[in-house]
Amino acid sequence: FKHVYANTKPNSAGRKYFAVLLDPDNLTEASCLNLIALSETHPVDFFFVGGSLVTSQNQAAIIHLLKAHSTIPVILFPSNSQHIDAQADGILLLSLISGRNSDFLIGQHVVSAPMLKASRLEVYPTGYMLVDTGRQTTASYMSGTMPIPYDKPAIAACTAMAGELLGLQYIYMDGGSGAKKPIAPEMIAAVREAVDLPLVVGGGINNTEKAAIALEAGADVIVIGNHIEKNPGFLAEVSSLVSSYNVTLDIRR
């Protein structure tokens, strides 16, 4: 994931990336192996593992499967410090900068710091911004924070700027898993314009048109979970879309 930082800074004309979000609660060994097999023929850049509320004990087994059967980097997307797992390659160290809950801004990080220092996990300091996409999401409820209003791109831009000034190295804009609609392209573009950091965008992307809109607006990494769980073939469609952007980029070079 560090090469995302290297390849996308300082503008959005860089390579695009595709991350598949695997929620341990919604996966079986068979469905996970199926996604791994699909990712052999349809490139995926990263597997993100986690969710805002993980109730099963599956996470370690899922990561084990991924590491045993795939070379795609496995990156933790943790809801709290309990979900740190040293089998993974890296971790999005999320500071929930859209919220005002100190536990998710710094508290969980204090608890995690010694574990992270002692592990070999690569740490990606990420400004995490929840955006209101029409209904309360698990992430917003569980974190006890108010998401950024859907039609307020300036708030999103200022929040991202503050994250950048504080030294965070990635911005993740999330409409929440299974969001009714994705984040508005105007907001993605405003954040893109405001900061030089790699921009990760996810939540509610359930067709290639929505994926293309997010990429066009300035997302460097798109994250898709829900719709791939329901329809694994969508992985192939998004993979082709992202590859087509990168082929065009290679031709331009």
Q: From the annotation, which residues make up the binding site for Mg(2+)?
A: 23, 52
Residue whose beta carbon is closest to ligand 1GP: 202
Contacts 24+ apart (CB under 8 A), 198-201: 198/4, 198/5, 198/8, 198/9, 198/169, 198/170, 198/171, 199/8, 199/12, 199/170, 199/171, 199/173, 200/19, 200/126, 200/170, 200/171, 200/172, 200/173, 201/172, 201/173, 201/174
Interface ranges with ligand 1GP (CB under 6 A): 21, 174, 177-179, 202-205, 223-227
Q: What single-letter DSSP state applies at residue 171?
A: E
Residue 78 CB, nearest approach to ligand 1GP (Å) = 12
Scan for tokens 């000034």, then name that residue.
Answer: 165
Q: Are 67 and 87 in contact (CB under 8 A)?
A: yes
Instruction: Tell me whether residue 209 or residue 247 sits nearer to ligand 1GP (CB atom).
Output: 209
Residue 84 CB, nearest approach to ligand 1GP (Å) = 18
Residue 205 CB, nearest approach to ligand 1GP (Å) = 6
Instruction: Tell me whether residue 83 or residue 227 sits nearer to ligand 1GP (CB atom).
Output: 227
In angstroms, the CA 142 to CA 108 distance is 14
Q: Are 20 and 39 in contact (CB under 8 A)?
A: yes
In angstroms, the CA 242 to CA 129 distance is 23
Residue 135 CB, nearest approach to ligand 1GP (Å) = 12
Residue 204 CB, nearest approach to ligand 1GP (Å) = 5
Write out the binding residues. Answer: 23, 52, 172-178, 203-204, 225-226
Write out the binding residues for sn-glycerol 1-phosphate. Answer: 172-178, 203-204, 225-226
At how many degrees (to 10) do helices 29-41 and 59-69 cross?
Answer: 30
Bridge partners of residue 96, in order along the sequence: 128
Q: What single-letter DSSP state applies at residue 197?
A: S
Instruction: Tell me whether residue 73 or residue 178 sits nearer to ligand 1GP (CB atom).
Output: 178
